[in-house]
Amino acid sequence: MINVGIVGATGYTGTELVRFLSRHPQVRIAGVTSQSYVDQRYADIFPNTERFIDLACEEQDLDKLLAKCDVIFTALPHGVSMEVVGAAAAKGKKVIDLGADYRFDDVRVYEEWYKIEHKTPELAKKAVYGLPEIHRDEIKNSQVIGNPGCYPTSIILGLAPLLKHGQVKVETLIIDAKSGVSGGGRGLNLAFHYAECNENLKAYNIGVHRHTPEIEQELSKLARTDVRVSFTPHLIPMTRGILSTIYASLHNIDTDTEELLNIYRDFYKDEFFVRIHPEGRYPQTKYVYGSNFCDIGLQYDPRTNRVIVVSVIDNLVKGASGQAIQNMNILFGLPEKTGLDYPALWP
C-alpha cells in the first residue's frame, strides 16, 4: 500500500483528493492536515466522507507526517507549498504540488507573474510539469511534480495535437475559457458570494491571468517555437467545470473537420482520460462532471480557415486532484486509471 499524506485537506482540491484516494485500492491515507480544523474528525467536517475516512485533521507537523508517508500531496495556495515540498524532498519523499510553485521551467517567470520570491529555485528546476498525456516519461522518474492548473490542462490538451503537427499559425491563437465558481477556492471572497455571481457571467484578469505563462510555456514546447496567446477567462455561475473554446488559423486550406479529428484520434489513441467527440457533437461540462476525463470536439470553418476547438474538464478533478492522483499512479508504477476510472455524474 502507498501511504499518502494530504497537506491542506479541507480545501476543495483537498476534499477531492480524499474522495478519490479513500477508494483507491493501493492507497492508505496516513494523515490529513488543516490549519482551520485541527483535531476535528474529517467526516464530521465533510459528512459525505463518513465510512470512507476515519481520521482527524492534524496540525502541520512535517516531521511527524513525513515519517509515515511515501508521498505528499500539497493542496495549498501558491507560495505556501515551498516549505513543505522542500522538507519532503530533503527526506527523499515524493511530492505532488497542486499549487503553482513548481510548474515553471524558469522561476523568474513564476516570480514575475506571482509577485513572490521562490524559496527553493533549485528544486523548482528539477520539478516536472505533471500533465501525463504530454510528460509521462519525465513524470515516471521525478520526485517533485508541479500539478498543472485547471485552465492550462483544458487548453494544452485541446491544442497539443494541432501544435505538435504544425497545423496552426501560432500567432493567431485566441482562447475563451469559462470556469465554475469552485475554481476560486473555498476561502471567502466577495466575487464568489451567491448574490454576486448567480445569474451573472463576467470576464476577469484579461491579459494578466496567472495561468497565461504556464499555458505559453507548454504550448511553446509543443510548437517548438515561442507562443503567445490571447487568453480571456470567465466566471460562470455553476459549481464545477471548465469549457475552453480555442480559435486558430490553419496553414493548410485544403482540409476539413474529419481530417483534423483524425489527427486528434491518433494523438490520443492510447489515452484513457481524453475522449474525442465525433464531428457535429461538441463536449459539454456535464459530460465530465466529477470525473478525470477531458472531452474534446472541434469544427473547421472553411470560410475563415479557422479551427474551433472545444475542450472541457472538471476543474477540481482533471484540473486538479484527479490529475494529481494520475501522476501518483505513474510515480508508483500503477495503471494510470487506478482509482479514477469512474464515469461522470449525470445529470
Catalytic site residue from 57, 69, 150, 197: 150
Go through the chain and tell me how many residues it has. 347
Q: How far is CA 62 from the centre of its chain?
A: 25
Q: Identify the band that residue 190 occupies on the pLDDT scale cut at 50, 70 and 90.
A: very high
Give the model's pLDDT for residue 188.
Answer: 85
Q: What is the number of other CB atoms lying within 10 angstroms of the CB of residue 322?
A: 27
Range(s) of the chain covered by CATH 3.30.360.10: 151-315
What is the pTM assigned to this prediction?
A: 0.98
Q: Is 96's pLDDT higher than 90?
A: yes
Active site residue 150: yes
How far apart CA 125 and CA 107 sit, in angstroms, is 8
Q: Are 152 and 218 in contact (CB under 8 A)?
A: yes
pLDDT score recorded for residue 244 = 98
Strand, helix or coil for residue 178: strand
What's the pLDDT at 68?
97
CATH level 2 (architecture), domain 2-126? 3-Layer(aba) Sandwich (3.40)
Residues 6+ away with beta carbon under 8 Å from 204? 191, 233, 234, 235
How far apart are alpha carbons 232 and 212 in whole angstroms? 9
Domain 151-315, what fold? Dihydrodipicolinate Reductase; domain 2 (3.30.360)
Q: Rounded mean pLDDT of 306-326?
A: 98
Question: Which residue has 505528499 as its cell numbers?
Answer: 72
Query: How do residues 7-24 score in pLDDT, each as one tens digit?
Result: 999 999 999 999 999 999
H-run or E-run covering 4: strand 2-7
Within the chain, which residue ranges are assigned CATH 3.40.50.720?
Answer: 2-126
Q: Which helix (H) or strand (E) holds 67?
A: helix 62-67
Reply yes or no on whether the pLDDT at 45 is more than 90: yes
Cell 495561468, residue located? 211
